[in-house]
A = this chain, B = another copy of it.
Amino acid sequence: MITPLKAWNELDYKGTENLIEHILSGGVHGLFILGTTGEGTNLSYELRHEFIQLACRQINGRVPVLVGITDTSLTESIKLSEHAAACGADAVVAAPPYYFTANQNELLSYYESLADKISLPLFLYNMPSHTKVSFEPETVKTLSEHSNITGFKDSSGDIIYFQKVTTLLKDAGDFSIFVGPEEILMHALLSRGHGGVNGGANLFPELYVAMYNAVMGKDFERMQILQKLILEISSNLYTIGDSPVKYLQGLKCALSVTGLCSDELTAPFEAFKGAEKEKVEKLLQNINIGEVLS
C-alpha cells in the first residue's frame, strides 16, 4: 500500500481511509504498509507511527496488517515494531540495513537479533536494487527455522532466484513466500510462491486477486487474459518520465486521478503534473478492468 500524502511531510487522512476501503473491497488477503511502495524509509518517524495507527484502526482486523520496519538502525526498527504491535498489526517486514551492506553471516545475526527482540512475527524482505544485498537462499532457509520469522517477500524480480528459494524451502511448513513485482505474480505462483505483494493492487486490487484465483484454479485462458492486462498497466503507467521512482509517481498519480487520494510523494520526489498527468488520465480511460473481470 502506498502512503497517501497531502504534502511531502503530511499524511492524507481521508485519502488513507478511502484507499484502504478501496483495496479491501477488491478482496485482498492482507495489507502491507510502509514498504518500498509505502515510502516507509522516507517518512519521518512521527508520520510512520501515525500512519501505522491510522491504517490499523481503519482496517480494524478485517485482514492481516503487515508493517514495514526497514531501517538502518536496529533500535528504530524495534521501536516501530513495538508500536505496530500496540496498534494491533499482525506482523512486521524488514529489508536488510541499507547504508552499510552486510554479508550473509551478518544478515543471519541481524535478523535473529531482530526477531528475538520483537513481539510480532517477522517477514524477511529481499530488495537488492535498493539495499545492495540479496539473501542467499541458504540464508532464508536458516532464518525460516527461527520461530518468530514467518515469511519472505522477494522483490528481486528474478524468477530463477525465486525458484531456488521456493525449492529449498519446499518443506518449510507454513513459512510464506511472496513475490514483489506484479509482472511476475503469475510466474511466481506457478513456482510454489504463496502470493504477491503488488503495488498495482492499490489501484486495481481485484485484478491481482483474480490472477491469484486463476492460477489456483489452473485456468490457463484466464491467466493469459489477466496477464495481458497486468503488463499493459505496468508497461504504460510505470514508465512515464525519467525519475528512479517513476513507478511510484505513475501509481500515485493514477490514484489521485481516480479520486482516491492525493498524489504527493516524500522528498525529494515530485508528483506528476501537466503532460505526465494527462498521459495517466488517458491511460486510465483506456484500461477496462471491469470488462475483463466480469
B167 near A187 with CB under 8 A, answer no
Residues in A103-120 with C-beta less than 8 Å from chain B: 103, 106-107, 109-110, 113
CA–CA, A133 to B228, complex, Å? Answer: 27
A54 interface residue, CB < 8 Å from B? no
A98 interface residue, CB < 8 Å from B? yes
A67 CB, nearest partner CB in chain B, Å:
16
A158 to chain B: which residues have CB within 8 Å?
A: 157-158
Residues in A16-63 with C-beta less than 8 Å from chain B: 36, 39, 41-47
A160 near B183 with CB under 8 A, answer yes
CA–CA, A97 to B244, complex, Å? Answer: 13
A164 to chain B: which residues have CB within 8 Å?
A: 231, 235
15 A-B residue pairs with Cβ-Cβ distance under 8 Å, sorted by A, are: A42-B100, A44-B75, A74-B268, A99-B130, A100-B244, A106-B243, A106-B270, A157-B158, A158-B158, A160-B181, A160-B184, A163-B183, A186-B190, A190-B223, A218-B220
Chain A residues touching B, range: 35 or more
A9-B75, A76-B44 known; A113 vs B267 contact (CB < 8 Å): yes
B42 near A72 with CB under 8 A, answer yes
Q: How many copies does the complex hold?
A: 4
**Residue interface bits A224-246, CB-to-B below 8 A is 1, else 0:** 00011001000100000011110
Residues of chain A whose beta carbon lies under 8 Å from any beta carbon of chain B: 8-9, 36, 39, 41-47, 70, 72-76, 97-103, 106-107, 109-110, 113, 130-132, 157-160, 163-164, 167, 181, 183-184, 186-187, 190-191, 218, 220, 223, 227-228, 231, 235, 242-245, 266-270
Residue among A72, A110, A245, A270 having the largest count of chain B Cβ atoms under 10 Å: A72
Among residues of B, the one whose C-beta sits closest to the C-beta of A9 is B75
Contact of A73 among B44, B167, B223 (CB under 8 A): B44
A72 to chain B: which residues have CB within 8 Å?
A: 41-42, 72
CA–CA, A200 to B186, complex, Å? Answer: 25
A218 to chain B: which residues have CB within 8 Å?
A: 220
B159 near A74 with CB under 8 A, answer no
Contact of A267 among B74, B163, B167, B190 (CB under 8 A): B74
